[in-house]
Amino acid sequence: MYDEIAMVAGNRALTGGHFILSVRSSRQAQAARPGQFAMIRLLGHSDVLLRRPMSIYDVKPDPSETGGSVQPAASTAGLGPLALLEFLYKAVGRGTELMATLREGDEVGLLGPLGHGFFAEDYLAEAHQSDEVLHVAGGIGIAALLLPARELAQAGVRQRLFFGGRARADLVGVDEFAPYVTETALATEDGSSGHRGYVTAAFEEYLSGRAGKRLLILACGPWAMLEATVKLAERYGQRCLVSMENRMGCALGVCLGCCIRVHGEGHGAYERVCTEGPVFWADHVVWGADSLPKT
């Protein structure tokens, strides 16, 4: 974990109010592991106090040092050390709207890498024993899944992506994901791309046709989508890892603001998304309205 002032290398607008913020920090880029996150602090805005938690979407060499365009790291081995962290985000509130105004050369506070991500020692063995890993992403949740997908692809694991959003413009990052999966199923609520409806419908259709197969599910997205995904995984007897989101005060494990309800008694009833998470085994989390973090 490092706490530093880092230089913005770019802030690219995508469709639907999404952006990719690129920040220079060699040591954080090199330390980052799949599923981890960082806290970004907007400097010079005393009304926006708290740092914002952001999944580490990608890590790359710095093109200004390698002299070429940036390619996914898997295909750029030898093109220089990792030096950039990328954050895929949607401008939805005061913090992210201000973030969208950042330009190359601006500075941000960057604390990371943080949290217990999709750490290989926890799930790679499980992935190898599975016939296939299924990624289920809702909207900006895709940001937590690209690095694990790359790691799994390098390990030779067969993968598939189920990706849903409100409209076509919300389905960002599909092309970046494509090299790592055999197939991608898209879903939009307005039917502008892929299946009309929720992504969990396409996911269930696939699950129901894979009886007897051993699957591992990695999911990230809004609470309702996660809850539906977890229920389906349970119904079809498949193991599931979820990357959780919550409002965070510190991400250092001290404010206890990001706690979610887990299966545990007394003091063990809540765990910190920032420290014990953000990735949890789905059957460890208590789902249901009472434990809903209304983010």
Partner 1 sequence: MSSQNRNSELLVSRPEPRTPNAESRAPAFAPKMQVNIAGVEFQNPVLTASGTFGYGQEFAQLIDLNRLGGICVKGISADPMPGNPPPRIYETESGMLNAIGLQNVGAKRFLEEKLPFLRTLRARCVVNVFGYSTEDYVRCLDILNAGEGIDAYELNISCPNTRCGGMVYGSDPKLTEEVVAASKRVARFPLFVKLSPNVTDIAVFARAAEAAGADALTLVNTFVGMCIDVETRAPRISNVTAGLSGPAIKPLALRLVHQAARAVRIPIIGIGGIASAEDAIEFLIVGAQAVQVGTANFYAPDTALRVADGIAAYCRRKEIDLHQLVGSLKLPQDSTAS
Binding site for partner 1 (CB under 8 A): 1-5, 41, 43-44, 46-51, 95, 107, 109, 246-250, 252-261, 266-270, 290-295
Q: Which is nearer to partner 1, 93 or 191 (CB)?
A: 93
Instruction: Catalogue the E-assigned strands of 155-275.
Output: 159-165, 183-188, 195-196, 215-220, 239-243, 259-261, 270-272
What is the closest distance, in whole angstroms, from the C-beta atom of residue 108 to partner 1 in the complex?
Answer: 10
Q: Which is nearer to partner 1, 30 or 182 (CB)?
A: 30
What is the closest distance, in whole angstroms, from the C-beta atom of residue 41 to partner 1 in the complex?
Answer: 6
What is the closest distance, in whole angstroms, from the C-beta atom of residue 2 to partner 1 in the complex?
Answer: 7
162 in Cβ contact with 138 (< 8 Å): no
145: its two tokens: 């899944």
State whether residue 245 is helix, strand or coil. Answer: coil
How far is residue 249 from each of residues 40, 64, 131, 229, 284, measured CA to CA in Å? Answer: 12, 34, 39, 28, 23
Q: Which is nearer to partner 1, 114 or 186 (CB)?
A: 114
What is the closest distance, in whole angstroms, from the C-beta atom of residue 107 to partner 1 in the complex?
Answer: 7
113 in Cβ contact with 276 (< 8 Å): no
* CA–CA gap between residue 163 and residue 240 (Å, rounded): 16
* CA–CA gap between residue 124 and residue 155 (Å, rounded): 8
Q: Which is nearer to partner 1, 44 or 209 (CB)?
A: 44
How far is residue 86 from each of residues 73, 140, 180, 268, measured CA to CA in Å? Answer: 12, 13, 18, 34
Q: Which is nearer to partner 1, 47 or 175 (CB)?
A: 47
Q: Which is nearer to partner 1, 4 or 189 (CB)?
A: 4
